[in-house]
Structure 1
Amino acid sequence: MRRRLINSTLAVVLVVIAVFGVSLVIVETRTISNSAQESIDSEALRLISVVESRLLEDERISSALLSQQITSKRYALIKIPGRPPLEVGKRPTGSVISSTAEGEHGEQVTVEESRSAVTREVGRTLMIIGAVALLAIVSAVLLAVRQANKLTSPLTDLAETAERLGSGDPRPRHKRYGVPELDRVADVLDASAERIARMLTAERRLAADASHQLRTPLTALSMRIEEISVTDDPDTVKEEANIALTQVERLTDVVERLLTNARDPRTGSAVVFDLDEVVKQQVEEWRPAYRSAGRAIVRSGKQGLRAVGTPGAVAQVLAALIENSLMHGGGTVALRTRVTGNQVVIEVTDEGPGVPSDLGARIFERTISGRNSTGIGLAVARDLAEADGGRLELLQQQPAVFALFLSRVALKRKEPERPVR
């Protein structure tokens, strides 16, 4: 493309120079020739008038006297009836420009000049025109190269950006080139890069959330299957099998919720549910794990509470908090329910060292962890709480007290206003 731009620009300039240059040469050549001829004619007329005036006054006419009346490097032949012809200057050879003037009494003056003077003048003019044309060509080439660089370099950059997007690097370049059309393409590529980056981030986040949210039900299911495998009591087997089925249903609910959030994160399924059942389920589910760690998990607070939310999501939030206390806390873990205003609060606390002071304000950020863990459990838990209109907060750092706030009253949908008749 660079070569084509330079060649096309140069071709246009050459055509313009050829058309206007040839015309200018023709016009200038004719102008110089006509000017030389007019000068010769004027010289002949002036010389014949001098001759006539001296004849009328009966004055002497000589070559020396007439040489003062003629331009140097020109030749004049004066013929007067009854007198020998007079010559002024040296007669030129070769091609000449001549002019003859006659007087009223038969006098005749012929003035000649070598055409080489005209040729030299035409040559100087052609050299000037050629120099201007050469300067125009050089300027055109430089301008064409500059324009080609201005167009081809951005296109190369845009091609590299598109290739980078195709290879999985969605970083926008935010580079503009001062050409509206190319800047528009750059805007579109940057916007596409930002969309691709958001999509990749969402996919990675979904994968991380899925792995974290599925781990807890799978762990609980694994513990129930282990209980079944080590017992011979049919009643225990039946009880553990029912609990395992409950875990399978919870696992299915987690998968459906992940798929729903992947399609539309704003979609919610909040309902009014019995909070005691969810808290009791979590306590019973995690009691074996705490017993194995030599610790205890208890519940307290107000009973018979109902809250608005998704039971599966609330269970996942509580599971994340309980698991966090199991991994990072110490002593007895307590789940306490209470009421504040029109909200239900579930507090999860333990007797461990609590949250480090430098992590208190960032504990809910992704990849933030006090130990070698994924650092996404609390971030996922907060997202789940906020999806149904609740919120998850750290009320106290030492010992750690996490609180899940849920509404006690379901929000009514706003009905459209009816027109007044």
Structure 2
Amino acid sequence: MRRWLALLVAATTSLVLVALLVPLALLIRTAAENAATGEATRTAESVAVAVAVEDEQALELTVERASATGYPITVFLPGGRTLGVPAPRSAAVRLAARGRSVTAEAPGGREILVAVQGLPEGTAVVRVFLSDAALTRGVAEAWLGMLLLGLALVGLGILVADRLARAVIRPVTALAQVSHRLAAGDLSARAEPGGPPEVRSVATALNHLADRIDELLAEERETVADISHRLRTPLTALRLEAESLRDPEEAARVEARVDALERAVSAVITDVRRRRRERGSCDAATVVADRVAFWSVLAEDQGRAVTVDLAPAPQPVAVGADDLAACVDALLGNVFAHTAEGTPFTVRLAPTPSGVELTIADAGPGFPPDLVHGALRRGHSGAGSTGLGLDIARRTAESAGGALRLAAAPGGGAQVTLLLPSPAPGDG
């Protein structure tokens, strides 16, 4: 904007200066020509007076002194004799010899001709020659001064325009920075109203919008927390039912499941109450091994063969332990939800140059084509589920700078690959 405003002011100022300085330049040239012509005419008239009263010898001295002023002077006497600087007897000279003083253009300049009548021999003509340089003496310097003045005025206009543009752009740039911070999740960002009234109005509206977003998110967090808290009642009833089981081993296993579910509900309540998600780190090998051990119990009940290939600990990643655990639970839960009992699956964790690669593959029916070849959308699964499991894994990976890839398993079925980067120095 500053550049465009500067160009606009430069163009406008240049047009105004051209409209003003061009006529002024022509006027200066005309004035210089008139001044030179007037001075030459006065010189010719003074010589003409001497022609009328002096003899030829005295007249020749007068012509020499007058020529010393810088103008070539020639006196055409009756009878064809000439005094002073030799010059051709042009048509204008012959016209002046008839008693008419004239000014005529000549090669290389202009000649001033004054007729001197009343001489015994006839009419004499005094000729003063003005060269083109004499006619335009001082014009080039005046034009140069005008050009420098015009450039100075254009530069001054651009400088003033730049100052005005900065006064407008600075608050607009600040507004853009605040909007980027809000888009990045920093809901504490606020704009400082400044600049023109319109920009101040936009800053106030942006602050109001940020306040409203903050309020809506707070309401949403509380609503989700309340909904999650309601799950504690059926969990308590389920725990009581587990405690009433007669088989101690079965009761312990069910109670362990209830404890895990209660921890998950508590984690949901804690997570949604946080103002913003803080990036953490954990040992991926330990977390994945723990969650695979948890799901292996259910896999054994359903007759599923589990192949586990985990890199030795530690395998640090830029994802918190709770978030990674929820991600693994979502992916393994999809295996149990969308494949038949007895379907085997594989869990593989391998290091990469930038982090780790977690691959979960099964021998089930595989993903629908629109999921493998299209964009993964939240709430869309193609299998009749909520479609949130894959989205949880995707958001967990992308929040840390990783990615999620869907593909067909080598032996048929579905394969999910989660790329998780290593934590940056200083991340905890």
**What interval of TM-score do these two structures reach, taking the shorter chain for normalisation?**
0.3 to 0.5
Q: TM-score, normalised by structure 1?
A: 0.43
Pair member with larger Rg: 1
